[in-house]
Each structure stands twice: as structure tokens, then as C-alpha cells.
Structure 1
């Protein structure tokens, strides 16, 4: 197989067998906890207007996301994993709009399989991709996309996923956790004067779970949707 790590939220990559899009802080950590909380699926949209239009057509949908990290007026939920754990989500449909993770995913549809993850579900995702590779009858092309253009949190997670897929021992989960906590992306969460960000979110973003499911994007729908797939 060929595995390449890319960084950014607006990449235009050539056709691949597998794309894995990472957003540790916080979109796909939110998505992971939403599925742990019983959410049915998560629609991915590129704009606030598209999300609000969907809400008008489907009032039971829950809008979740941010614009440059800040909660969006008119949305039901912000982009906080802590907040998502406090909601009743069983059988709900979420609509996600975020600056990096969702945007990067919508730029990564040119692939056979598209997965999204934060660090919380990275190992499970990587092990599933490793299994897919073992079953393949050809050399797979795999892209791992760290969606934050400069964040070491996503980059560390990308290196970890590559490490697990290859079965190597170049980076440990503990090292990834340290890099997440010390990434420049987390600084605003620990700024006591910045009330838009909850420092407790970083605890959720830097903790692994053995959740036994992956998050795969169904690209065949009019609006791409993240679905839970048990493994």
C-alpha cells in the first residue's frame, strides 16, 4: 500500500482507495461522542445557510458546529464534545458545519472509502483500514488528511493512524495525547479570559475509546452523511 499524510482543509487529491479525514479539536470528536450517545447519522454541509435551510425543512434535525471556532447563532449545538455528551441524541439526525473537519471531508470525496475520526476513535479506524488492506487484491492508495492547516493535534493523530496501519512503533498514544494538549490549537481553551472555549473539551479530545465502530461517510446521498459502522 501507499500511505500519504496531507494537511489542510481544501486539498484537491487524486482518486484514492481510502481517505481518512481527521479533526481532533473538535468536529470528529464531537461526531464520535454523538454516535456514542445514540445519534442516527450526521449530515455534512458546507455553509451555515445550507444547515439552516435543512432545519426549516426538517425541524427535528439538530444543527451542530462552529465558524472559526465560535458557536453559530441559530444552531442547536456548538462544536463542543462536552456539550454533546449532555444531550439526548437517541435516533436524532445531526447536521454538522465546521471550519476544518467538515470542509476537508467535503473536499475528500474522490475515493472509494471515506472515514472521519478524531483521536478518540483513531486506533479503531486505523485497525479497520489495516484489515481492509489485508483483504485487498491490489496495492491500496491511502490518504490521511490532518484537516487543521497548522495544528499539530491533527498531524500527530495522522502519524499515529499511519503507525497503526503499518503495524510499526514510531509513535505512541501517550505521545499523541501530549502533542494534542500542547498544540497551539488548544491555547485558546486554557485562556481564562476567552469564554467561547471550554477547557474540559480538551480532555474529551485527548482520550481514546475502544468503541468498536468506525465513522464512514456515505457519498451516495445528495448530502454526504456520516454513518456508524460496527466492526
Structure 2
């Protein structure tokens, strides 16, 4: 498999297949939202758009990066999202990097959004789709976020059919700048368990596919079969 690893600003054309990576924390949060029963996640292009959608649809759940803010129901934290009641609900998500990356490649024929928690399911979809070229969008730190790059490289390895050991990839993410900032309380809207939750390999047995619906970019889960050898979390759904 021909894998490219690019930052958002390095995207010079619309890829055929794109995997958008945001480990800490957008797509770990999104996975938890689906695990808590969310039907879909609308990816907003701005805080203003997220608030406008919430205003038109008061029953939707709006979340953002940073501290709580008027008009928003939640913040971008897996530690907080894991206790949310979202059965059948629509979530509107706006983050600094993750949602920006997905919107940048929204015209690709296939867009997957991922973190370590859905790594194997994402790789399984890539194996099913086949083809040679996959663009991994490393969203954090202008494409230099070590946790996102490590996750992208791990998924690429699994998609190519290589077994490999996830330990080194997880170590790189665990010692990344983002992990340190979360642990030190430098990022608002965080929970003490956020880093650990972001590093739960294959926690969920679904991939997350972004597609255009009514001129919006909408993320939905795609269930993946669970062979016995896969190390998916045994207590999903939660």
C-alpha cells in the first residue's frame, strides 16, 4: 500500500482515500460518542456554524475544544464523553484540528476518521477497499503531532497486512507533546483519564466514515466483523 502522511496544509489535491487522524482528542471523543449511542456526528467548520446548527436543532448536542462555553453542551474530552447519554442523538463537533482535517478532504471518495481506539477497524476497512493509495492526514501541530503520526503509521502497517507490535507506536503517543499538555492541565476542558482513554488500542469494533449528507460532512460508525484474534474491548457498547 502506498501511504502518504501529510499535514492539513500540505494537502495539494483531493485524495481518493483519506484517513484523518486526531488521537488527542477529536476522534477518540467521536468514537466514545458513538459508543454512548449517538446516531451521527455533524462536523462543523466553525464555532459559529456549530452554534447555528444547535440553535436550529435544540435537541442536538454541540461540543467544542477548550472550556465549557454558552450554547455548547459538552467539551472535547473522552473522559467526560464516556458518561454522556446520547442514544439516537445527533452530535455537532468542532475542534481545532480534527474536524478541520476531515473537512479539508471531504470530497475524497472515502474518508475515514480515526484514533488508536478504532485503529484495527479502520485498517480492516482499508483492506476491504483495496487499492494502492491512501493519504493519512496528520492533523495535529501542522502535521508534526507525534501521537497522530504514530497512529497513522500503525494503521498503515495493519492495513498492509503486517502484524507488528503496537507498543512502540503507543509509547510515541504517550510521550507526545499533546499527552504531556493534557497531563499537566495545560489544555482546558480535559479529564484526568483523557490520555489513557486516547491510548486504548482497538477499544471499539467500528470504523468511522465521513460522507456528505445534505451539504454537511457527517460522521457515522461502520461496524466491522470481530475475528477472535482482534483485541477489541470486550465490554462495548458501554
| Greater Cα shift, 209-218 or 75-84 | 209-218
Using structure 2 for the length normalisation, give the TM-score. 0.87
Counterpart of 2:37 in structure 1 is 38
For residue 194 of structure 1, report the CA deviation from its aligned partner. 6.7
**Distance change (3 Å), C-alpha of 1:99 and 1:186:** same
- For residue 79 of structure 1, the aligned residue among 70, 76, 88 is 76
- The SS at the match of 1:219 is strand
Aligned 8 A contact 2:14 2:105 in 1: no
Which ranges in structure 2 are unaligned for 5 or more consecutive residues?
225-238
1:16 to 2:15 alignment: yes
Query: Could you give the per-residue CA deviations for residues 201-229 of structure 1, whole angstroms, max 9, x where no partner exists?
Result: 01110002353221101124311000111
Q: 1:197 to 1:220 in 2, by over 3 A?
A: closer
Residue of structure 1 aligned with 2:193, choices 195, 200, 225 = 200
8 Å CA contact 1:10, 1:103 repeated in 2: no
Change (3 A) 1:230 1:192: closer
Residue ranges of structure 1 left out of the alignment (5+ in a row): 134-138
**Greater Cα offset, 89-98 or 124-133:** 124-133
Q: Pick from 139, 152, 161 the counterpart of residue 158 of structure 1.
A: 152
Q: 1:218 to 1:178 in 2, by over 3 A?
A: same
User: In the superposition, relative to structure 1, how do residues 161 and 111 fare at CA in structure 2: closer, same or farther (>3 Å)?
Assistant: same
Residue of 221, 224, 230 corresponding to 1:228: 221
Which residue does the alignment assign to 1:209?
202
After TM superposition, the structure 1 stretch with the greater mean CA deviation from structure 2, 146-155 or 88-97, is 146-155
Structure 2 counterpart SS, 1:214: strand
CA-to-aligned-CA distance 1:72-124 (integer Å, 9 cap, x gap):
44310000001111110100100000000000110012311000011110111
TM-score, scaled to structure 1: 0.89
Q: Which moved more, 1:204-213 or 1:33-42?
A: 204-213
Query: Is 2:87 the counterpart of 1:90?
Result: yes
1:3 — aligned with what? 3
Change (3 A) 1:84 1:192: closer
Alpha-carbon displacement from aligned partner over 1:102-156 (angstroms, at most 9, x marks no partner): 00110012311000011110111012101210xxxxx432101111023100010
Q: Secondary structure at the match of 1:226?
A: strand
Q: Could you tell me how far apart the structure 1 residues matched to 2:219 and 2:124 are?
A: 19
Provide the C-alpha distance between the structure 2 equivalents of 1:89 and 1:48, rounded to a whole number of angstroms. Answer: 21
Question: Hey, what does 1:112 align to over in structure 2?
Answer: 109
**Secondary structure of 1:94 counterpart:** strand
Cα separation, 1, equivalents of 2:67 and 2:9: 20
Structure 2 vs 1, CA of residues 225 and 11 (structure 1 numbering), >3 Å: closer, same or farther? farther
Distance 1:71 1:143 in 2: 33
Contact 1:3 1:143 in 2 (8 A): yes
